[in-house]
Structure 1
Amino acid sequence: MKFRIKRPDSSTSPFPHPEAPAPDVHTAAPEAAADAPLSAYEIELIRTSVSVVEPLAEEMTVYFYAILFARFPEVRPMFPPGMDAQRGRLLRALLRIVDLVDDPESLVRFCGHLGRDHRKFGTLPAHFPAVGECLLASLARYAGPAWTQEIAAAWAKAYGVVADVMISAAEQDARVRPAVWSATVVHLLRRGHGIAEVTVRPHLPYAYAAGQYVSVETPWYPRQWRYYSPANAPREDGTLTFHIRAVPGGTVSEALVHRAVVGDVLQLGAPMGDMVLEAAAFDDLLCVAGGTGLAPIRALVEEVARRGGRHQVDLFLGARTGAQLYGVDDMLRMSQRHHWLTIRGAVSHEYVPGLRGSLPQVLAEYGPWYQHDVYLSGPVPMVVSARETLTLGGTPPDRIHHDPFETPVLARP
């Protein structure tokens, strides 16, 4: 994949351009993103500048939103009242883009996800020049004397690539499906330990693949979206069930667990994620889940069953205590129905009959898994540790599937 960035004359921008210490940033027609990739020198300039501003990154994101809202107040209603979480998302997305800047295929895939997901915020192509202008102005301010015209030009080009891909992905997505789906809560089951199963029925057909995740907005906290994985493969009645743990201080999760009732209407964003069965190259699958990370794994197991059990599945469930070994009874019942499914539990901080130890320790004991496709879901430390254990045991890294850390690493426009 190659890129060509065409920067039109500044008169074509729909926004005024107050004086800024960086060149104007514009975006090309989406189909123009394909001829000249960023050079190695431009990539080095971008990464060097990030290393300079990284110690001040949190301050920089505060400044970015301050000047964005001051220069372009029309975009402020697109954001939630509280901006703390949003600033963190911007920073993570920016760092992820910089990390992928020398991997065009992955960069296009990541920015395509961003572009499609941004549709639910009401993002328009006209917003991108404003964001680019304020981003470069923020980088210039916090890079200080290290900021040069060469660095500014490299950033303008890189931002043009990102914007082109996001705009193109959003436009293509808009041709085939809505930006959001309204969905009515049709069933609620509170499971204890701050966990609830919430089943919704979208008002319009909602196509997704087992293993993907979905952004959810509640009526009580508009413009605050949180991401959850359906715990089921697609059903004939179109319903989706989410397993949600109430996170202390988490407004959306606590509302869904403790406040929602049957009849409430939620909003769903487009499904995202590549942790799907089509990604598997081997017939044997290893699935590893911790806590409510079982949800997408359960959906994958259901999908294997829907396809006639053409895979052998080893499923490991992990928790600190036996009481926290979430969903094990349900999965054991599934294993009794399906000969190709084997279930094992691992408890790390309590003695119980059966397996004892952390999931990575148990995986190493029962391995090797180098002829399996692996699906990991759960707390980030568990996923990181399990991935390291499996890689050391010979599992090819490209056969280990999991959602992005800080799932998903998304920013608003």
Structure 2
Amino acid sequence: MPDSLKLNRRAVLKGIAGATLALPILEAMGSEVSQKNPRRFCAIYTANGMALPKEEHEIDEWHWFPQEVGQEFKFNKSTEPLSPFRNQLSFLGGMHHPNGTKADPHTCSDMWLTGAPLHNPKPGTYNSVALDQLIALHTKQHCRQPSLVLSIDAGTGFLSRTGTISYSVDGKPVPAENSPRRIFDRLFRGDTSSLEHEREKLNKRIKLVDAVLDTARSLNKQLGQSDREKMDQYLTSLNEVESRLIASEKWIDIPLKNQDYSHLNLDASPEGEPADYYQTMFDLIALAFDADITRSVTFMLNREDGMGISDTFPIKLGLASTHHQLSHAADKEGQLNFAKYDLFLSEQISHFLSQLQEYKDADGTVLDNSLVLFGSGASTTHNPRNLPTLLAGGANMGVKHGSHWRKEDTRLSNLYLSILHSMGIEKDSFGDSTGTFDQSVFTGV
């Protein structure tokens, strides 16, 4: 068994023994700090790109990007549900990851929040830290959960067909959750008995890891590369669970904010009606932000290359073909159906923004104090340039909206660096960034 796995195992044990953790903000800091509005981040990913019909299709009004650049842009049909938030969002055109043009196009979800050189990774690594997990490192001491990682299929998937867009500081995939009921229990039912039950389950899993490690050593490290990768992912999962439990236990005596959960459909399932499921998941994120349970969230709406549950969502909506098939459509009808699915996703994003707008902070709305990033790792048909990108919220975080901003070959990592700064995280760089994003959007705080 590689030493790196043993070190990861020790990291888990260190957590059980009592890892050092900053005290909750309500206990550790004065009122001047504790009364500041939290700054939050949510990244929402859809696979396979967006519908960008060609001129010969004669359906320009269904193009995901607005035709006009600047503040005079008009919403097209596939994004019209977002129009109530015109002054609280920006379309960002021309975005790309330089490493995306060199890699297998199916790794676009793997690198969306990292920008890592997946075509030529460093020895012994695959990915690098994702934006959400870097944010979580700086915000976790202020909230009950370090981060919330969600996806349509749960788990991690596998390389180039990932089931998560979140990667740890070691570049390992962070497992995602997809069950509304389990998410609700984790976020809002952190009583002593449930935490003890989770701790018991974790200890049993760790004993299993001990046995596997001992067996691996006795077999003279005969695990193959695939098995080592699976073990690595399992250890990452254990570490994630342990991290959540430690955070929850620190907050056990601090009551949750009083909220209304009556609108939640915890029986919603990705196997059921797409709108019911997505809206329930977004409602859970909004409630978690409102109660300041976490400040870092990712939600993967679809998986790449026809993988997973959501590929059939367009068929459930009466659009004839699967999502992946629609993304490759070269004819007018196919592109129109692809755009109609974009319309459906815009409706879900609009619902989410409405929820964030409804909840109030001490100064403004939760949306004013949250940055919501929505996009894809391909423009259309696996094209790694001009990635569809939308940024919403953050009015109290130094962000100016209400335009279709566009500049060709702009690095997504530059955008991510400015997002970090808006979160109050002063970093000199992120990934392959060459500087911060345009100051006409990020005006400073």
TM-score, scaled to structure 1 = 0.29
TM-score, scaled to structure 2 = 0.28
> Greater Rg, structure 1 or structure 2?
1
Which structure has greater strand proportion?
1
Higher relative contact order (CA 8 A, sep 6+): 2
